[in-house]
Amino acid sequence: MADPTCLIADDHPALTSAVSGYLAEHGFKIVGPVPDGRRAVTLAAQVKPDLALIDFRMPGPSGVELITRIREASPATLVAVYTADADETIAREVLDAGAVALVLKEAPLADLVRALEAALAGRSYLDPALPRNDVPSLKLTPRELEVLGLLAEGLPHEEIGHRLGISSETVRTHLRKASDRLGATTRTQAVATALRLGLIA
């Protein structure tokens, strides 16, 4: 299998050099790096990389807008956010925008590799140093996670209730509570958010 391509966008040259070198040593083919969001979008559209590792704050567009633009320019590209901000609001914003990973810049580079490998394997990654008690979407109960997992398999409420030994109305109650915690307005959105967060497989 060919080495995965990773676009790097960050306006800190020393950090970018270190990250690029480390990722290259661990089997990634580096695209760029580029120092601003505009060139990141252009390069993503041209190269269609497997991954895009982007700084959350840099010359525009940046943040959520940059995630959105990269995904529009190259829908198959998995976006990972690299940030110095251990902030629950940012975590929620980038995941809602479609990023699959959030890694803090203070983390060891080995963690960054693990995050990108998780993304390639179809899993989401949140930096372990992130204050998870402050992220509402991670406060689901085991039963709510079971319901979401079975929904992700395409089972109807009645079948979920049969498997778990509860009524279909109780299934709906668990789903409603899980959706509220995830900030989702539909069951499809709730399942998608839980999958992005790596809460269900």
Chain segment 76-88, per-residue pLDDT in tens = 999 999 998 877 7
First to last CA, the chain: 24
Q: List, in sequence order, the alpha helices (H) in 153-186.
A: 157-164, 168-182
Chain segment 93-123, per-residue pLDDT in tens = 888 888 989 999 988 899 999 999 988 988 7
For residue 137, the model assigns a pLDDT of 46
For residue 31, the model assigns a pLDDT of 97
- The third-level CATH classification (topology) of the domain covering 5-132 is Rossmann fold (3.40.50)
Class of domain 136-196: mainly alpha
- Fill in the DSSP letter of residue 138: G
Are residues 83 and 107 in contact, defined by beta-carbon separation less than 8 angstroms? no
* Phi–psi pair at 183, nearest 5 degrees: 70, 25
Count CA atoms closer than 13 A to 67's CA, side-chain side: 22
Q: Where are the domains of the chain?
A: 5-132, 136-196
Question: What whole-number distance in Å separates Cα of residue 21 and Cα of residue 82?
Answer: 16
Mean pLDDT by 10 residues, the chain (201 residues): 91 92 96 96 97 94 93 95 84 86 90 91 81 55 90 91 92 89 78 78 69
5-132 and 136-196 in the same fold? no
Answer yes or no: pTM beyond 0.75. no
Nearest partner of 78 among 105, 118, 106, 114, judged by Cα: 118
For residue 134, the model assigns a pLDDT of 47
